[in-house]
């Protein structure tokens, strides 16, 4: 498999801008994984029919159906055209207090509904400075032990590099990705791709994606504009 480019649009874009971006990527024949906001999923799914782009949501409920106001179930996401879903993004872990048991329930629910999770892990600056980065990432990964073969990929997103303009150096990314690769092997998950996320831009994508065990990138801010997303995808294609 070539390098993977995934776009997390977070709480950005509208129906017109999102559909235009998705349809331009489709016309280019790009193979991105797109994670738009809930309201954009169904219209974008219609745009993507027949192309190679994959559609995912940014979150899901751990519950099946029922009285859960404001939540969206895995089955609803499948119904809207999703095949994937983000789980454990740091903005959910830190902004909404999601962790361990809840994330495991979400991962299981996604798998039961036939959605492939992209599971995100990563340490805060405080944890890195305290020398605990690997310990934290290992703990985040530990929930995958009962989920053989259900995830699409893991994304390493150091919290201090998300939306801050700070990027892990290629060496820092390489060290953590090698660690994650070892941990996944211990969990029996030998083939799971590992993406890097955190201020990925056209200018740093090559240095990051050429590191060992960096199988692609999960892009936030730079995925909101066609030019920068195309430029990152061009790098991915060039590396192959």
Just list the catalytic residues. Answer: 89, 157
Q: Among 95-103, 169-177, 205-213, 219-227, which window interacts with ligand 13P (CB under 6 A)?
A: 219-227
With CB under 6 A as the contact rule, the residue among 87, 192, 200, 232 that binds ligand 13P is: 200
H-type helices in the chain, by residue range?
15-28, 38-48, 74-79, 90-93, 100-112, 125-129, 133-142, 170-186, 202-209, 226-239
Which residues from 45-104 bind ligand 13P, rule CB under 6 A?
89
Give, as one character, the DSSP assignment of residue 150: T
208 lies in the site for ligand 13P, by CB under 6 A = no
Which residues from 110-169 bind ligand 13P, rule CB under 6 A?
157, 162-163
Work out how close the CB of 163 gets to ligand 13P at its nearest, in angstroms, rounded to a whole number. 4
User: CB within 8 A of 4, min separation 6: which ones?
Assistant: 31, 33, 153, 193, 195, 215, 216, 217, 236
With CB under 6 A as the contact rule, the residue among 221, 230, 231, 234 that binds ligand 13P is: 221
198 lies in the site for ligand 13P, by CB under 6 A = yes
User: CB within 8 A of 113, min separation 6: which ones?
Assistant: 73, 74, 75, 77, 78
With CB under 6 A as the contact rule, the residue among 3, 4, 5, 8 that binds ligand 13P is: 8
With CB under 6 A as the contact rule, the residue among 36, 117, 193, 220 that binds ligand 13P is: 220
Per DSSP bridges, beta strands 54-57 and 153-156 are unpaired
Site of interaction with ligand 13P (CB under 6 A): 8, 89, 157, 162-163, 197-200, 218-222
């Amino acid at each position: 498999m070539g390098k993977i480019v995934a776009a997390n649009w977070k709480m950005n874009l509208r129906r017109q801008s999102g559909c235009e971006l998705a349809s331009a990527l489709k016309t280019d024949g790009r193979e991105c994984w797109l994670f738009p906001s809930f309201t954009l999923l169904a219209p974008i799914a219609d745009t993507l029919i027949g192309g190679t782009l994959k559609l995912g949501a940014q979150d899901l409920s751990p519950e099946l159906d029922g009285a859960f106001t404001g939540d969206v179930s895995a089955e609803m996401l499948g119904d809207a055209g999703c095949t994937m879903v983000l789980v454990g993004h740091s903005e959910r872990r830190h902004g909404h207090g999601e962790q361990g048991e809840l994330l495991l329930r979400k991962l299981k629910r996604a798998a039961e509904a036939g959605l492939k999770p992209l599971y995100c892990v990563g340490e805060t600056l405080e944890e890195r400075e305290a020398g605990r980065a690997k310990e934290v990432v290992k703990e985040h990964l530990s929930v995958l032990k009962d989920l053989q073969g259900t995830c699409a990929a893991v994304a390493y997103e150091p919290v201090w590099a998300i939306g801050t303009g700070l990027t892990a150096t290629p060496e820092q990314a390489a060290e953590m990705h090698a660690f994650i690769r070892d941990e996944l092997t211990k969990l029996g998950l030998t083939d799971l791709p590992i993406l890097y996320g955190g201020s990925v831009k056209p200018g740093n994508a090559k240095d990051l994606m050429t590191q060992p065990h960096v199988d692609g990138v999960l892009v936030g801010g730079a995925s909101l504009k066609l030019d920068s997303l195309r430029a990152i995808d061009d790098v991915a294609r060039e590396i192959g």
